[in-house]
């Protein structure tokens, strides 16, 4: 779910331990995200603020980020006004989806000054704004008069706080005020609470209704408004004592949501406890956010590849039709030979003739279509010409079909590789492989960024063996080429997927390590872990044929495992 005001209250409480800390560094890994490195209690702590329309969030994180070669202007302003300053307060005004961080420092003349960093987490209206003396220094998302007639967000303008909703603030509401809001309401109690109390989302409102009445679908008309209001205020007063934070897991082991405390409205077996809310949020958002951003960055290349793939599939259909037509070559040769040998049975002007087939044991007659305008000799020559043309066409068409199939396989692998990309370097690897095969034009050297060798995924088996997995064809080739001959090599059978290396260091593979490596190969394949046959053999039996596409190998002495795996069953990530 989007980060609601209730969950944000817990995140703000976690972050308030940074009050008094010194801001040592500010980075902007993405255009709508900023990360502050804060020195607090002799420790360095990262505070993440994201104004992403889809995944706006605020929390402490242990995650590291790759930063652009040149810092954006907003990042430079954060560094100018915040670095060296101390955090005075972190508050959530009116219990809504907004956070204000007040930082005290000194201006260019060495005089004491204060800046405010406002994060608004409101879907497509999310924003991160740096404010000083009541005026906007800059914000991540500019909002001009053409974009909004209500609230303008531009450098130099007075800063206006987000408009307050006509709802009760969770920390300030009284039983009388809430009972008045609930009186006369119809429909579900959760909907009535949602419209009455600031900071609740539909999910948290259903949780409140369940805890107040014992029913998640209780009707507002069937309850006593004052009784519910008293219970709600009591629950609001002790809600911050509830713990621990939870991750919601679906049947496939994927993380679908997170809660600041166990939610009774969801099965307990689908909730996984976490040591802290910021860890739950990091685990929920990190992969999802990277995937979403890479989807955006790779969208143009994906469209290009899909267009090329559609073109090749149409071309393959035409080539197969041409091959079927070329399959008549032997028939044309037979007709020509029969006409040449039995000219005396054919007369000019005939449209068809039945001649004995002396190649057949029974001499069965064959019907041969004729051009009545041509003589028997000319008809025979016409069939011989068609035979030679079909023979040549069959050879060239078969070669073209083989090339077309190879390009289709390359494009399908590239599309699969795009789904595995986590960093711009991974995306660069995919483009590099396509350029090497002539599918894409090389990027001019003036525009090409300095190449950084991307790293494969690293896992640790249950018995301590290192498992490496490539995220694309270039990584697959680099990983397989650099592996020791005694390491174990694994790959999903007959489908795009990661090359997986189980590092053995000269030791025989254990059953636990083999199964963990097979689970990685099955999960990072096109089948995504559902009934995946996984081939495995020693690296010394894997060969790279010359002139083939990146990641293409042949192998022998292999065995096959059938693997079913969910994300929760993958071995631990090794960093």
- Using one digit for the tens of pLDDT, what is the confidence trace for 181-226? 999 888 899 999 999 999 999 999 999 999 999 987 899 999 999 9
Question: Is 44 inside any structural domain?
Answer: yes
The answer to whether the pTM exceeds 0.75 is no
pLDDT at 395 over 60: yes
Helical spans, DSSP H, in 62-201: 73-82, 175-182, 189-196
My answer on whether 264 and 212 are in the same domain is yes
pLDDT at res. 93:
93
Question: Is 285 inside any structural domain?
Answer: yes
My answer on whether 189 and 108 are in the same domain is no
Question: Is 432 inside any structural domain?
Answer: no
176's CB contacts (< 8 A; 6+ apart) are 229
Q: Which domain holds residue 524?
A: 457-573
State which of 293, 319, 354 marks the end of a domain. Answer: 293
pLDDT at res. 575:
56
Query: What confidence category does residue 446 fall into, taking pLDDT thresholds of 50, 70 and 90?
Result: very low
Query: What confidence category does residue 396 fall into, taking pLDDT thresholds of 50, 70 and 90?
Result: confident
- Residue pair 79/60 in contact (Cβ under 8 Å)? The answer is no
Counting Cα atoms < 13 Å in the Cβ hemisphere of 24 gives: 11
pLDDT in tens, 162-176: 888 889 998 899 999
CA-CA distance, 406 to 414, in Å (whole number)?
Answer: 12
Higher-pLDDT residue of 370, 454: 370
My answer on whether 397 and 507 are in the same domain is no
My answer on whether 121 and 216 are in the same domain is no
Higher-pLDDT residue of 21, 548: 21
My answer on whether 126 and 196 are in the same domain is no
Higher-pLDDT residue of 391, 58: 58
CA-CA distance, 491 to 560, in Å (whole number)?
Answer: 10
pLDDT in tens, 487-531: 999 999 999 999 999 999 989 999 999 999 999 999 999 888 889
My answer on whether 30 and 90 are in the same domain is yes
My answer on whether 518 and 400 are in the same domain is no
Question: Is 430 inside any structural domain?
Answer: no
My answer on whether 278 and 327 are in the same domain is no
Buried b (16+ CB within 10 A) or exposed e, 23-45: beebbbbbebbbbbbbebeeeeb
State which of 344, 379, 414 marks the end of a domain. Answer: 414
CA-CA distance, 473 to 552, in Å (whole number)?
Answer: 8
pLDDT at 448 over 70: no
Domain count, the chain: 4
393's CB contacts (< 8 A; 6+ apart) are 322, 325, 326
Q: What is the mean pLDDT of residues 19-34?
A: 95
My answer on whether 14 and 133 are in the same domain is yes
pLDDT in tens, 309-358: 999 999 999 888 888 777 777 788 888 888 888 888 888 889 899 998 88
Question: Is 331 inside any structural domain?
Answer: yes
State which of 379, 414, 449 marks the end of a domain. Answer: 414
Structure tokens at 83: 């670095």
pLDDT at 228 over 70: yes
Tell me how crowded residue 395 is: count the other CB atoms within 10 A of its CB. 11
pLDDT at 126 over 70: yes
% the chain with pLDDT above 70: 97
Question: Is 161 inside any structural domain?
Answer: no
My answer on whether 71 and 36 are in the same domain is yes
Question: Is 370 inside any structural domain?
Answer: yes
Nearest residue to 54 (alpha-carbon basis) of 291, 338, 233, 246: 291
My answer on whether 135 and 9 are in the same domain is yes
My answer on whether 278 and 218 are in the same domain is yes
pLDDT in tens, 241-273: 999 999 999 887 788 899 999 999 999 999 999
What CATH number does residue 113 fall under?
2.30.310.10
CA-CA distance, 488 to 510, in Å (whole number)?
Answer: 11
Question: Is 298 inside any structural domain?
Answer: no
């Amino acid at each position: 779910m989007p980060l609601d005001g209730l969950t944000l209250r817990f995140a703000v409480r976690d972050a308030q331990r940074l009050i008094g800390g010194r801001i040592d560094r500010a980075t902007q890994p993405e255009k709508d995200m900023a990360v502050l490195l804060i020195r607090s209690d002799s420790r360095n702590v990262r505070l993440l603020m994201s104004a992403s329309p889809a995944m706006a969030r605020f929390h402490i994180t242990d995650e590291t980020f790759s930063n652009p070669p040149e810092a954006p202007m907003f990042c430079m302003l954060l560094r100018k006004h915040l670095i060296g300053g101390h955090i005075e307060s972190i508050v959530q005004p009116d219990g809504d989806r907004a956070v204000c961080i007040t930082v005290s420092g000194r201006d260019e003349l060495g005089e004491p000054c204060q800046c405010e960093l406002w994060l608004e987490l409101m879907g497509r209206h999310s924003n991160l704004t740096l404010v000083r003396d009541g005026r906007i220094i800059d914000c991540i998302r500019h909002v001009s008069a053409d974009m909004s007639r209500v609230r303008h967000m531009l450098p130099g303008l007075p800063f206006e706080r987000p408009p307050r909703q006509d709802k009760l603030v969770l920390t300030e509401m009284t039983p009388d005020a809430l009972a008045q809001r609930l009186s006369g309401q119809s429909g579900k109690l959760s909907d009535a609470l949602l419209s009455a109390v600031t900071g609740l989302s539909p999910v948290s409102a259903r949780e409140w209704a369940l805890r107040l009445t014992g029913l998640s679908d209780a009707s507002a008309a069937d309850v006593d408004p004052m009784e519910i209001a008293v219970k709600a205020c009591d629950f609001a007063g002790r809600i911050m004592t509830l713990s621990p934070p939870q991750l919601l897991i679906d049947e496939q082991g994927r993380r679908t949501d997170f809660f600041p405390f166990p939610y009774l409205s969801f099965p307990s077996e689908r909730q996984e406890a976490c040591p802290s809310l910021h860890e739950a949020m990091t685990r929920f958002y990190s992969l999802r956010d990277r995937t979403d951003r890479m989807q955006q960055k790779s969208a143009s290349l994906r469209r290009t590849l899909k267009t090329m793939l559609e073109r090749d599939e149409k071309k393959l259909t035409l080539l197969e039709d041409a091959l079927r037509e070329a399959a008549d070559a032997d028939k044309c040769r037979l007709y020509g030979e029969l006409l040449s040998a039995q000219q005396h049975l054919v007369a000019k002007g005939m449209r068809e003739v039945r001649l004995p087939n002396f190649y057949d044991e029974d001499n069965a007659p064959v019907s041969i279509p004729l051009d009545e305008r041509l003589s028997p000799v000319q008809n025979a020559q016409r069939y011989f010409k068609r035979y030679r043309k079909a023979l040549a066409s069959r050879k060239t068409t078969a070669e073209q079909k083989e090339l077309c199939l190879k390009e289709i396989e390359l494009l399908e692998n590239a599309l699969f590789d795009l789904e595995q990309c986590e960093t711009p370097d991974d995306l660069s690897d995919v483009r590099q492989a396509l350029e090497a095969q002539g599918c894409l034009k090389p990027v001019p050297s003036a525009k090409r960024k300095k190449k950084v060798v991307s790293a494969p995924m690293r896992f640790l088996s249950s018995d301590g063996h290192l498992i490496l997995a490539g995220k694309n064809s270039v990584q697959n080739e680099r990983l397989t080429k650099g592996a020791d001959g005694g390491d174990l090599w694994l790959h999903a059978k007959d489908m795009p997927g990661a090359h997986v290396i189980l590092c053995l260091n000269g030791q025989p593979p254990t059953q636990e390590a083999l199964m963990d490596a097979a689970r990685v190969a099955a999960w990072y394949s096109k089948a995504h872990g559902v009934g995946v046959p996984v081939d495995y053999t020693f690296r010394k039996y894997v060969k790279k044929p010359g002139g083939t596409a990146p990641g293409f190998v042949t192998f022998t002495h292999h065995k096959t495992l059938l693997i079913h795996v969910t994300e929760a069953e993958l071995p631990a990530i090794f960093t």
